[in-house]
A and B are shown apart, each in its own frame.
Chain A
């Protein structure tokens, strides 16, 4: 830090986009600049402008880009503390001078300077920049420049306006030089209502430093005696060129050289953020639109890429670029890094990584122990080995769900057993694949839904399965659906639905898909309505309906129960056992 600038000022500048630095320019510099301005007034350049309202005494004079012809300005630019102040506040090693700008409001000049930000007026890109506003006369608080605090962080570009008429410059006919979208400067009222307005009364020797995207404006000079003379100088860093140069580093070097200095780190992390497509979401939900693609450089995504924020995410969906002809090592590295930084991750989905062959290994290497669900979708080829499954079991004791959708799957026969043995909480293992190797799997079919039943056993359902065990336990609707769609399903005689979670329409699935069902257990199944019971009557072969728990707290159901049971008995003519567990039935 220098003698003029404290860390507090640097932080303020970053946050508000404007700071007032007191007592930095000595008498020497003030006199120098005054001499320069007098010289400027004598020989105004063709750029100069003199504005006054009709009938008003004062004028508003402004001129710029004279630092080469006015030696006093040149001295000020290169030798005064201005350069150092701007570099420190911009957090940069170097500052590059752009131009000086003389603004004079003569006594009584009542010209307002409309709200605007400077950068839109200039062919300047990049965020590390500032203007230094150095007054040469005291400026009382009533007539000093006003700033909309933190408006530089809005990531908005406002159309430049003419100071004389307050109208926008005509930018339509000009060739557009950048891709920024320019919008109208908001109204004075809007700015005052939505931003903290900062103003500083300043004395000669002080200066106000502001970011070139900070909105600011000035009221007219009400004081009738002193003119207000100000020299404003602008600094900008040529980040564009450095960005191009650094873009030629390979991925590892980009990450490695982040430590060189702050400017490099900023540029490199910006670049890295553009390189891959990661979707993050804190919603446990597959709606991709809710997620946030890092490829769009908006404020939210840069925040996300500050990676420290990832700690809060419990769901990470990583979308590969399926147009990439080969798996990009860089993308893999970024992904690994990002995943490692999500310690609370519960669910991970890798989608459309056509070339990645061992996603399980990638996940085991990077995901923390909290993981509960894994989704692998859109792979060209996946190999799953027994040791992969063992690792998953060891590392993720809470895993309850795995889904693999791949056009080509190599999976060892023992995998399934290992998986269910090592992951005690695993409820479902779902596979969809066009080709499964080795061939013994092929017999089982292209897609399967494996569910845990009673401890270590598992049930397998697919479209080609011939025989099915009689004591199948299913936990949710999708399991039920794949069961009823399987070839063995129609022959199933015993089904246990205990403790599963169900949506209302599940009895219809059973009635249509499992017509030969004879024994149905449904303890701890709480979602029931009279409609459900009517649907049960459709299972014509049903002999035993056991442990049925009816929540009969609603009177209507009690009233209808007789009818329902009668209907049930009518529909299921073979019914010989009907266990109904319910305390309230005594009513």
Chain B
């Protein structure tokens, strides 16, 4: 192992400027190995089955972006990963996971599979929240049919794909930004169930938010 990656290791050391301790070498090797493993695993294709019965194929690493799918695969305790490819499709039992939604979800994870995984020890959620959507994500999520868009978000939430839920949420919030309540209702087809008096009362209660001095 050390022999194989010796060249990379020295480069890595020089770049980071750390003293070349054995620990650091191991860390670097481990990281490299993990990346390779992810790459190899993504060549294995697994099948996901939508609620409507449609079956879609997707790389293993990509599919594991869904925490739910990853947990299901872990539960199989399958040591030979190639066997997973020949298994029955994994059923996704939630009515939000329509054929269309699953197709889009697979497209998204296949594009994003090599994103650095979210590290729970280093919670940069606040930063991520403020990050702009990438160009690709913007085009991906710009879906005219609202029902389909909501299905994708709900399905991604069900499958526990944090990144995709965030893309959807940011997209909708970008659209809400700067719109009046009436416009928001129109856009999202929400029925206003307040009486005019109630609405005025809430407006008055929140007046301080508009006051800028």
Q: Which A residues fall within an 8 A CB radius of B?
A: 91, 93, 238, 240-241, 244-250, 252-253, 255-262, 264-265, 307, 333, 336-337, 340, 365
Contacts and interface: CB of A to CB of B under 8 A. Distances in A.
A261 B192 contact: yes
A504 B213 CA distance: 49
Contacts of B185: 260-261
A93 B185 CA distance: 12
When A and B form their complex, which 3 residue pairs have the shortest distance between CB atoms, in order from nearest? A248-B173, A245-B169, A248-B169
Contacts of B168: 245
Given A248-B166, A260-B185, A238 B203 contact: no
A209 to B, nearest CB: 18
Contacts of B194: 259, 261-262
A265 B202 contact: yes
B172 interface: yes
Contact of A256 (B166, B205, B209): B209
A212 B198 CA distance: 28
- Give chain A's interface secondary structure class: helix
Interface string B179-193: 001001100001111
A263 to B, nearest CB: 8
Contacts of A238: 154
Contact of B173 (A240, A249, A258, A340): A249
B153 interface: yes
Contacts of B193: 91, 93, 261-262
B191 A248 contact: no
Interface of B: 129, 150, 153-154, 157, 165-166, 168-170, 172-173, 176-177, 181, 184-185, 190-194, 199, 202-203, 205-206, 208-209, 213
A238 B185 CA distance: 18
A256 B194 CA distance: 15
Contacts, number: 75
Given A256-B181, A260-B181, A245 B209 contact: no
B203 A259 contact: yes
Contacts of A246: 173
A93 B188 CA distance: 12
A337 B209 contact: yes
Nearest to B209: A255
A189 to B, nearest CB: 41
A260 B202 contact: no
Contacts of B202: 258-259, 265
B206 A258 contact: yes
A438 B181 CA distance: 50
Contacts of B203: 259
B22 to A, nearest CB: 35
Given A244-B169, A257-B184, A259-B203, 5 more contacts: A241-B153, A244-B157, A259-B181, A260-B192, A261-B194
Contact of A241 (B129, B157, B205): B157
A305 to B, nearest CB: 12
